[in-house]
């Protein structure tokens, strides 16, 4: 039995290593939109932001705004797996909102996850969107798609969004939701719970 466990562990390690090596170019980086490559990345467990998180607005010292809580107050949760981004937004006044985005593609070069919202989401059911992430000063931040989600009825339309037009990773406290019709919002800071 021990020999079998060792062989199984070795086989799993080799398979993971093979998938990892074949998913990435060694040397000069290039864009990878190949669905087979992205599927291998997901299958190999390479969703770099998978985990269960509490999320906060912006940086730890973010003062908050008219409609946003300060950076030291939990405003929701993200539960991110290889196949789903589940987001809960806390709201004591109107009740919590829920988004369940089935992962369609992960682009590790652009640092974006493309999703299609399930029918049990609080809004945007059946539509496509993206979640962009960055790591800055040792913290992981996410900017959810606040562009034209209601008109993004295909994966291609979500992928056509200009990520830099709608999100600015250089401004964590006001760089999310730019040019979307909403006031610029802070990126969401993820902290493992």
For residue range 54-78, list pLDDT tens digits in order: 999 999 999 999 889 999 999 999 9
Question: CA–CA separation, 49 vs 192, rounded Å?
Answer: 10
DSSP 149: G
Residue 120 phi, psi (nearest 5): -90, 10
Out of 32-36, 106-110, 164-168, which region has the weakest mean confidence (pLDDT)? 32-36
Q: Where are the alpha helices (DSSP H) in 24-126?
A: 35-43
The candidate with the shortest Cα–Cα distance to 81, out of 111, 51, 44, 48, is 51
Question: CA–CA separation, 164 vs 14, rounded Å?
Answer: 37
Question: CA–CA separation, 19 vs 104, rounded Å?
Answer: 19
Question: CA–CA separation, 62 vs 52, rounded Å?
Answer: 22
Q: How does residue 45 score in pLDDT terms, banded at 50, 70 and 90?
A: low
SS3 (DSSP) at 92: coil
DSSP 68: S
Q: Where are the alpha helices (DSSP H) in the chain?
A: 2-23, 35-43, 155-159, 163-166
Q: What is the pLDDT of residues 94-151, one digit of tens each?
A: 999 999 999 999 999 999 999 999 999 999 999 999 999 999 999 999 999 988 888 8
Domain coordinates of the chain in residue numbers? 50-192
Whole-structure pTM value: 0.76
The candidate with the shortest Cα–Cα distance to 142, out of 47, 39, 28, is 47
DSSP string, 150-162: GG--SHHHHHTS-
């Amino acid at each position: 039995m021990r020999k079998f466990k060792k062989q199984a562990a070795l086989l799993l390690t080799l398979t993971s290593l093979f998938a990892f090596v074949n998913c990435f170019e060694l040397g000069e980086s290039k864009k990878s939109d190949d669905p087979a490559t992205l599927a291998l990345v997901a299958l190999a467990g390479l969703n770099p932001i998978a985990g269960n998180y509490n999320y906060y607005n912006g940086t730890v010292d973010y003062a908050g705004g008219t409609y946003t809580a300060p950076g030291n107050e939990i405003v929701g949760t993200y539960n991110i797996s290889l196949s789903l981004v589940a987001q809960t937004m806390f709201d004591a006044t109107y009740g919590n909102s829920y988004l369940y985005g089935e992962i369609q593609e992960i682009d590790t070069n652009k640092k974006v996850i493309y999703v299609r919202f399930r029918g049990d989401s609080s809004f945007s059911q059946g539509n496509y969107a993206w979640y962009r992430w960055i790591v800055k000063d040792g913290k992981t931040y996410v900017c959810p798609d606040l562009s034209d989600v209601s008109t993004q009825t295909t994966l291609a339309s979500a992928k056509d969004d200009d990520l830099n037009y709608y999100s600015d990773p250089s401004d964590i406290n006001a760089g999310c939701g730019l040019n979307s019709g909403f006031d610029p919002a802070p990126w969401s800071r993820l902290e493992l719970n």
